[in-house]
Structure 1
Amino acid sequence: MGARTAGHALAHAVQRVTAAPLGAYQSAVVRIGVSATCLLFLLRELPHRHEMYGPDGPWSWGMARRLITNNDAFTALMWSDSTVWFETVYGLTLVSAALLMAGWRTRAMSVLFMAGVLSLQNRSIFMGDGGDNVIHLLAVYLVLTRCARVWSLDARRASRDATRLAEGGPPARDVAGPVLWAGLGCVLLPATLMGGIGGTWWLPSLLWVLWLGNGTWWALNRRAPDHELRALLDVLANIAHNAALLVIMAEVCLIYATAGWYKIQGSRWQDGTAVYYPLKLDYFTPWAGLSELIASSALLVMVLTYVTVIVQVAFPFTLFNRRVKNILLVLMIGEHAGISVLLGLPFFSMAMIAADAVFLPTVFLVWLGHRVSLGRRRLFSRTAKGLKLPGQRRAGQDDEEEAGRSGGGGGHTLVG
């Protein structure tokens, strides 16, 4: 009986992992958060881009070239040392971050976004902080996820195509997809032949698998949506998505566990000076009055110190209890918000909050999405000067009813 029960449990787990991508809302929030963080950072550093990653930086192109030769890292900025090429890569990274945030052609944009992030960060490895490392990792993981199932332009286009098919009509003509796919192939082929994707084997292999797989996927969707190969590709995409989501969760737990245990071993976190000293540094005090107010209270410094250590050490163990996990998740998000304000590290905090979002409850995200949709509808109805047609339903009523139906169920056990 025990072996039969274990077999049923295993079969059920395999069915869940292969049948659908879990954490659709969580992966969408991670996508939006990561791309928005990178986009805002690049926009803020736009006047200083040449000094940070370009030809005017202290880490010259020749020095970066010698380093890349030794560590086999990927950066498209090593393909040429011209200013025009640098501006092109920087501009494409900005555009891909914006389009990834909006969810337009998400699979292709995630690849371009990853290439842009790796190109800029590997060009000048001494620029950035821990938040850049998080963006670096999440940019790679997002390529494997199906992070546009909700809250994206791709989801809206898929919904419209499904409606047309249900009504017996053909799907909308797709021009941008094949053009984008062909253009990426024209870049990928010479880059691979000339060895411009770095010395590692996994990156060119991943890019070619994605390119060929997406081309096959598009052709089957248009010509033979019921083909067995189409179903197989769907299963493989679900497995890759769920595995990448699991890796993101493990990465976040590893970050907090290592940070917390290293803090326990350090004397500065035991006596509170690790929090006190940064509040006294001009570089980390954008609000000098607020920092001075906190630093002047020994009790407040002690509470912030020990709460930070306790939350970071305990968080990985709270994943077995949903309620406790949600409480500590709120505390950690509040901690990063405080770091953003007190220490003037907004992009580090945004990157960590985007990574933390993988643990947000599904019910809360569904509720939040419907609240935003309802607010948008109400805003549009007000701009229409209150005009109503006979028999017209109240703006947002459909969203409220749908929220009531969706909010009653539980979220995915993996992330909810």
Structure 2
Amino acid sequence: MNRLSLTLSRGIAGVTESALGPYQSAIIRIGFAGTWLLFLLREFPHRQELYGPAGPWGWNLAKELTADNHAFTALLWSDGQLWFESFYLLAILASTALLLGWRTRTASVLFMVGVLSLQNRSVFVGDGGDNVLHLMSFYLVFTRCGQVWSLDARRAAHAEAARARGERVRADRVGPALWAVFGLALVMATFTGRFDNGWLIPALLWTALVALGLWWAVGRWARTQQPRILLDVVANVLHNGALVVIMAEACLIYATAGWYKIQGSRWQDGTAVYYPLHLDYFSPWPGLADLMSSSGTIMMVVAYGTVMVQVAFPFTLFNRRVKNVLLVLMMTEHAVIAIVLGLPFFSLAMIAADAVFLPTSFLRRLGVLAARARGRLVRRADRTVPAPRSPEESPEENAQGRVGFTA
């Protein structure tokens, strides 16, 4: 009984005292924000046809559909071109901020608003990865995904080092400014009746606004540590719960996909992979597709291997080595899909979802390698820029430079 109580108390302490998986949450933040940002930039010349007010999926059709399914989209608040262009730019900026980890709490909320608004505006735009991104953008709001590999973590480290040296840390001005702008926009949207299709997203936005304001107020005026500790506990519980939901969602995606494939006759006889390789829409490299489909053995191995990996993956989480092997196989499979079938954003979204299962030791080594590569690039850039010479070192060249500039 005592051992059970000790184990239970340790489990509760682990869930409440810290936000687990900081590297995993950071990599999925970077993965999903980067995927959506690349998609928005790639489709920037075609944004009018995809999501614009005069696109094929017209304004009236979109209004009728959202009135029926109660989906949230801010793009239907106005049919003006200026609103659409401003919102598309806001979605790009929010994705960039989340990718870099700048003001992650606010950026994650704006990222979710951008994803839901654009995708619900034209529901027939997407390749399967949009469904994953749709769900994950909602889950990311509840995570503390800026603990590492972010500008937020860098700013917090600099502030902590300054306090350790006895220096005075400047009060945060950007955070309250973002909170004020976010709050003003939310108040206007609420009292002008923009949230008329459902209550879930408005409730989440208001909760996020109150939480941001409360967090800032406690950090600014609380005289004791108890309120901050309480907020940390709540944030840790939400983060850990959201991380579990993200893992469960990824397992559910693979399990359902695998079991549905088992029921299909084309997957049973091993010919399912052959057909998409010969569709014009999924053949950016016809020669490569013909080469792969020329062997019936390869087609059967790929079909059967895909089913077995997808069905088996949720059960391999209890064995670290087998799980890591299947992770490599699935990420390789998605990379092949991106190249052979021309579905890069679907593959990136799935790889980002898979990354939540990557081991912490591997992610740390990946971070060290990235830091070394960045350092080499910075040093190389510094070497290419000539150092300025003082007038004492070369008065002739300095004089010639002044004459040339004057002329």
* One-letter amino acid of the counterpart of residue 54, structure 1: G
Q: Hey, what does 2:321 align to over in structure 1? A: 323
Measured against aligned partners, the alpha-carbon deviations of 1:306-355 in whole angstroms (never above 9, x if no partner) come to: 11000000000000111110000100000100100110000000000011
Task: Map 1:331-342; keep pairs closer than 5 Å.
Answer: 331-342=329-340
- Residue 147 of structure 2 is matched in structure 1 by 149
- Please, which of 91, 94, 118 is the counterpart of residue 93 of structure 1? 91
Question: Who is 1:373 aligned against?
Answer: 371
**Could you tell me how far 1:65 is from its partner in structure 2?**
1.0
Do structure 1's residue 5 and structure 2's residue 3 form an aligned pair? yes
For residues 190-339 of structure 1, the aligned pairs below 5 Å read 190-224=188-222, 226-339=224-337
Count of residue pairs brought into register by the alignment: 385
Of 261-270 and 224-233, the range deviating more from structure 2: 224-233
What CA distance in whole angstroms lies between the structure 2 residues aligned with 1:170 and 1:311? Answer: 55
Secondary structure of the equivalent of 2:272?
A: helix
AA partner of residue 147 (structure 1):
C
Q: Give how far 1:188 is off.
A: 0.7
Give, in whole Å, the separation in 1 of the partners of 2:124 and 2:383: 54
Corresponding residue for residue 175 of structure 1: 173
The answer as to 2:138 corresponding to 1:140 is yes
Moved more, 147-156 or 188-197: 188-197
- Residue by residue, what CA displacement relative to the aligned partner does 1:24-69 show, whole Å, maximum 9, x if unpaired? 0011110011011111111111111111111221211111112212
SS in 2 for 1:59: coil
Question: Take 2:377 and 2:189, find their aligned partners in 1: how far apart are those partners?
Answer: 48
Partner of residue 64 from structure 2, selected from 63, 66, 91 = 66
* 3-state SS, counterpart of residue 247 of structure 1: helix
CA distance 1:172–1:264, shift in 2 (3 Å): same
3-state SS of the aligned residue for 2:71? Answer: coil
For residue 36 of structure 2, the aligned residue among 29, 35, 38 is 38
TM-score (norm 1): 0.90
What does the per-residue CA deviation read over 1:61-99, in whole Å, with 9 as the maximum and x for residues that have no partner?
111112212222111011111111111111100110011
With the length of structure 2 as denominator, give the TM-score of the two structures.
Answer: 0.92
| Cα deviation digits, residues 166-212 of structure 1 (max 9, x gap) | 12222233221111100000011121223323533332222112111
For 2:384 and 2:74, how far apart are their aligned partners in 1?
Answer: 53
One-letter amino acid matched to 1:85: W
Unaligned runs of 5+ in 2: 386-407
Aligned partner of 1:361 in structure 2 is: 359
Q: Quick check: 1:131–1:352 contact (8 Å CA) kept in 2?
A: yes
Kept in 1: contact 2:40–2:92 (CA 8 A): yes
Residue 72 of structure 1 contacts residue 200 of structure 1 at CA under 8 Å; is this kept in 2?
yes
> Where does residue 126 of structure 2 map in the other structure?
128
Over residues 231-284 of structure 1, what are the superposed CA-to-partner deviations in whole Å (9 max), with x where a residue is unaligned?
111100000000000000000000000000000110001112210011112221
1:199-234 CA distance string (max 9 Å, x none): 333322221121111112112223337431111111
Report the Cα distance in structure 2 between the residues aligned to 1:73 and 1:198, rounded to whole angstroms: 10
Tell me the distance in 2 between the aligned counterparts of 1:67 and 1:273: 37
Q: Percent identity?
A: 59
Helix, strand or coil at the partner of 1:259: helix
Pairwise CA distance, 1:384: 3.9
Q: Is 1:49 the counterpart of 2:47 in the alignment?
A: yes
- 1:276 aligned counterpart, secondary structure: coil
Q: What are the equivalent positions in structure 2 for 1:97-116 lying under 5 Å apart?
A: 97-116=95-114
Structure 2 distance, partners of 1:230, 1:134, is 34
In the alignment, which of 345, 350, 353 is matched to residue 347 of structure 1? 345
CA distance in 1 between counterparts of 2:54 and 2:293 reads 39
Distance 2:259 2:223 in 1: 51
C-alpha distance in structure 2 between counterparts of 1:55 and 1:85, whole Å: 10
Alpha-carbon offset, residue 108 of structure 1: 0.5
Structure 1 vs Structure 2 CA RMSD: 1.5
Residue in 1 aligned with 2:25? 27
Distance 1:102 1:109 in 2: 10
C-alpha distance 224-303 of structure 1, shift in aligned 2 (>3 A): same
The alpha-carbon deviation at position 165 of structure 1 amounts to: 1.4
Q: 2:293 touches 2:299 (CA, 8 Å); kept in 1?
A: yes
Aligned match of 1:79: 77
The verdict on how the C-alpha distance between 1:57 and 1:386 changes in structure 2, with shifts beyond 3 A counting, is closer
Could you say what secondary structure the match of 1:27 adopts? helix
* Structure-2 residue corresponding to 1:162: 160
CA distance in structure 2 between the partners assigned to 1:211 and 1:285 by the alignment: 46
Return the alpha-carbon distance in structure 2 between the equivalents of residues 225 and 377 of structure 1.
Answer: 41
Distance (whole Å) between structure 2 residues aligned to residue 59 and residue 95 of structure 1: 25
Query: SS where residue 172 of structure 2 aligns?
Result: coil
Q: Helix, strand or coil for the counterpart of 2:273?
A: helix
Matches of 1:252 and 1:93 in 2, distance apart? Answer: 25
